Structure 1
Amino acid sequence: MDDTVNYRKNLTVQYCFPGNSASCRKEIQSGPGNILLFIVLSCVSVCTVFLNLLVIISISHFKQLHTPTNLLILSLAVADLLVGMFVMPVKIMQLIDSCWYLGETACSVSEMINGLSVSVSLCSLVLIAVDRYIAVSDPLLYSTRITVSKISLFISLGWSLCLLYVITYFYFNDHLLQSQIISRCYGECVVSVKHSWVIVDMVLFFLTPCSVILILYSIIFIAARHQAKAVRAVTDASKRHGSANSSETKAAKTLGLVIFVYLACWIPFYVSSLSVESFTTSSIVWTVFGWLMYMNSSVNPLIYAIFYPWFRTSAKFILTCRIFEFSSSRFNLLPEHF
C-alpha cells in the first residue's frame, strides 16, 4: 500500500530536467484562471508590439515627422517595443511554467534587456522634458538650439550610457551592487537585489530624474498659462504667432500625461520594494507591480493615438498599405491648425 502511494507521488512530481539530479521541480499553472491570465497578458504583449511598431514606422517613414521631439518619442517607442517583444513573453512563460530552459547566459541577457528598456524609457522622458521646456520657455530660439542632429547625438549617448550601466550592473560590479543571478536548483532564473541596492537604485534612477522631470513640467505649465493670457491680449498677427506657441503647449500637455502615467506605473513598485529586505524576481510583489510597469509600454502609444492627429493619420496610411505608394514619405500628416 505504501509503495503504491509513493509511486503515485513520484508520478505527480515533475522536474524541469528529469535527467539532472539538481533539477528544479516543475510547476505548471494550468487552471482556468491561469489560462485566462495567459491569454490576456499575451494580448497585451501583442498590442504593445503592434502599437509601438506603428509609432516607429510612422516617425521613421514620414519625413514630416522628422522633428527633434518625435525622435525622442521614437526612442521611447523602441524601448517600449523591447518590453513587448522580449520582456513580456519571457515573463508570461515564467508565470505559466516555473522552469527556465535557456541557461544562465540567456537568463542574464533577458534581465539585461529588461533593465535596458527601463533605463532608456526614463532617459527618453528626461530628454523629452528638457526639449519641451526649451520649446515653451524660448520658442524663438528653439529651432536653432534644438536640432535633429543634436537630439540624435543625445539619444545615442543616452542609449550608450544606459547599456553601459546595465552591463556594469550585471557583470562587473556584483560585489558593489550586491546583486547576482541566484540558482537554488538547475532550471531557475531569479535575480536577487538586496535592500541597500534598491534604495540606491531608487534615488539615482528614479527619484532624481523624476524630480527633474516634474520641476521642468511645472515650469512649462506656468509658462503656458502666461502665454495663454498674452495671446488673448494681442493683435491678429500676434495671435498667429501665438498659435505656434499653442501647439507647443498642447504637445507639452500630452507628453506631460505620458510622464504622469509613467509615474503612476512605477511608484507602486518602488514603494513596495522598500518594505522587503531582499527583493527577487520570483516574489509576488515583483510580479504584480512589475507587470504594472510593463503596462506603461502599452499605454504610451495609446496616448499618442488619442491626442496626436499625425499618429492617427499615419496609422491609417500604414494599415491601408499606402506607405508603399511612390513618394508616400512626403504625405502631409499635420492639419493646418495643429
Structure 2
Amino acid sequence: MDNGSLELFEKANTSLQIELQSCTTFRNQASRIFLYAFLSVGIVCTVVGNFLVVLSIAYFKQLQSPTNSFVMSLAVADCLVGLVVMPYSMIRTVEGCWYFGVLFCQLHSSLDVMLCTASIFHLSCIAYDRYYAVCNPLVYSLKMSHSRVALLIFVCWAVPMLISFCPIMLDLHVAGVDILIPEDLCVFLVNRIYAVMASLVAFYLPMAIMLIAYWKIYKAAKRQARQISAMESQMASGVGKDSSKKKRHRNTMKRERKAAKTLGIIMGVFLIFWMPFFTVNIVDPFIEYSTEVVVWDIFLWLGYINSSLNPFLYGFFNRSFRRAFLMFIGCRVCLPGSSPGMDLSQTRKDPNERADQQ
C-alpha cells in the first residue's frame, strides 16, 4: 500500500472513530416519545402474541403435532427476542447511546444473532416437515418421529448458539477490524470472513433449502388440486362406491395444502423482512463500514417486526389457532366445558363469529 492510500485510509478510519465517539442524543423530545411508544407497542405485541402461541400449543392437544412442535419452539425464540433483545435495542436506537457496558453489549449482540438465526432454522425445519407431509405422506410418520423432531429442534438452538456466542464473546468476529468502539456505543461490526460465513449459515443456505422445499410443495399442491377437482366431479355424478372415504381423503389433502400455504406465507414474510439486513451485513465490511447508522436501524427493526407478525399470521390463516387465541384472551379456558382435549374445529360460535368465517 503506497503512502497516499495509507493516508487516505487513516483519514477515513479517523473520521469513523470520531463519528463513533460522539454519543449524543440528536432527536428532540417529541420524536423520542413517539419512537418509544411505537417500538414499545411492537415489543408488547411480540411478547404477548408469541406467548399465546406457546400457551395454545401447550394446552390444546389438537394443536400438538410435529409441525406445531417447530412452531412452538419458533414462538419461544420470537418471544425471547421481544423480552431480552428488543427493549435494549429500542433504547440504543432512540437515545443513540449504550448505557449497559461492553460486556452486556457482547451478550446482547450474541443473543440477537442466536435468536434470529434460530428463527430461520425453525422455518427450515417447518419447510422440511411440510415437504414430507404434502409430497411424501406415506413416509411422513417415519421421517418426522418424536425423536427426529426433538433432534431437529436441538439443532435449531445449538448451531445458532455456536455461531453467535463463541465468536462474539471471544471477539473473533472483529479480528482484523481496526476500528475502536467507545464504551458508550454498541455497534455490531464484523470482519469480512464472519460476515460472509455467518450470513450464509444463518440466512442464505436455509433460504435456499426452504425455497426448494416450498417449490416442490407448490407443484404437489397443484397436482392435488386437480385430484380434488376430479373427486368432486366424480362424487357429484354419483360415481364411486366409497364416497365417504373419498371425502375424508379430499378433506385431508385440503388441510395439508392450506397448512403448506400458511407456512409458506410465514416463510415469505420472514425472508422479505430479513433479506435487507443480511444483504447489508455482507456488503458493509467490503465498503469500509460506510453504511449509515439509520439504515442499520431500519433494517434491523424490520427483522424484529417479523417476530411480531407470526402469531397474527397463525390467527388469520389457521382456524384452530384463532379459536385457541380467542379462548385464552376471553378466559374461556377457565369456563366449565373447556378442556385440553376439546375439538377446536367444532367449538360453538356466536352468530357474529360464524358470519365472519363465512
Q: TM-score range by the shorter chain?
A: 0.7 to 0.9
Equivalent-residue separation in structure 2 for 1:210 and 1:91 (angstroms):
26
- Identify the residue that residue 321 of structure 1 maps to in structure 2: 331
What's the secondary structure of 1:205's corresponding residue?
helix
Equivalent-residue separation in structure 2 for 1:213 and 1:238 (angstroms):
31
1:291 aligns with 2:287: no
Residue 227 of structure 1 aligns with an amino acid whose one-letter code is Q
TM-superposition CA deviations, 1:177-217 (whole Å, max 9, x none)? 64889753332222211344323333332221101100110
What's the secondary structure of 2:204's corresponding residue?
helix
Which of 266, 270, 290 pairs up with 2:274? 266
TM-superposition CA deviations, 1:20-60 (whole Å, max 9, x none)? xxx97442633322321221111111111111111011111
Residue 169 of structure 2 aligns with an amino acid whose one-letter code is Y
- Identify the residue that residue 54 of structure 1 maps to in structure 2: 52
Residue 257 of structure 1 aligns with an amino acid whose one-letter code is I
- Identify the residue that residue 128 of structure 1 maps to in structure 2: 126
Residue 28 of structure 2 aligns with an amino acid whose one-letter code is S
Give the 3 Å change call, closer, same or farther, for CA 290–223 of structure 1 in structure 2.
same
Equivalent-residue separation in structure 1 for 2:103 and 2:72 (angstroms):
29
Give the 3 Å change call, closer, same or farther, for CA 202–300 of structure 1 in structure 2.
same
Cα drift, residue 170 of structure 1: 1.2
Equivalent-residue separation in structure 1 for 2:30 and 2:93 (angstroms):
14
Give the 3 Å change call, closer, same or farther, for CA 81–282 of structure 1 in structure 2.
farther
Maintained 8 Å contact 1:191/1:281: no
Maintained 8 Å contact 1:72/1:155: yes
Maintained 8 Å contact 1:80/1:297: yes
Residue 264 of structure 2 aligns with an amino acid whose one-letter code is G
- Identify the residue that residue 155 of structure 1 maps to in structure 2: 153
Which of 182, 201, 212 pairs up with 2:209? 212
- Identify the residue that residue 257 of structure 2 maps to in structure 1: 249
1:330 aligns with 2:341: yes
- Identify the residue that residue 16 of structure 2 maps to in structure 1: none
Maintained 8 Å contact 1:100/1:188: yes
- 5+ residue gaps in structure 1? 1-22
Give the 3 Å change call, closer, same or farther, for CA 88–55 of structure 1 in structure 2.
same
Equivalent-residue separation in structure 1 for 2:75 and 2:289 (angstroms):
28
Cα drift, residue 228 of structure 1: 1.4
Q: Percent identity?
A: 35
TM-score by length of 2: 0.80
TM-score by length of 1: 0.84
Maintained 8 Å contact 2:118/2:157: yes
- 5+ residue gaps in structure 2? 1-20, 232-239, 348-358
1:77 aligns with 2:88: no
What's the secondary structure of 2:189's corresponding residue?
strand
Cα drift, residue 69 of structure 1: 0.4
Equivalent-residue separation in structure 1 for 2:119 and 2:23 (angstroms):
36
Maintained 8 Å contact 1:180/1:191: no
Equivalent-residue separation in structure 2 for 1:187 and 1:63 (angstroms):
49
Equivalent-residue separation in structure 2 for 1:280 and 1:70 (angstroms):
42
What's the secondary structure of 1:268's corresponding residue?
helix
Give the 3 Å change call, closer, same or farther, for CA 179–43 of structure 1 in structure 2.
farther
Maintained 8 Å contact 1:26/1:99: yes
- Aligned CA-pair RMSD: 2.6
Aligned residues: 313
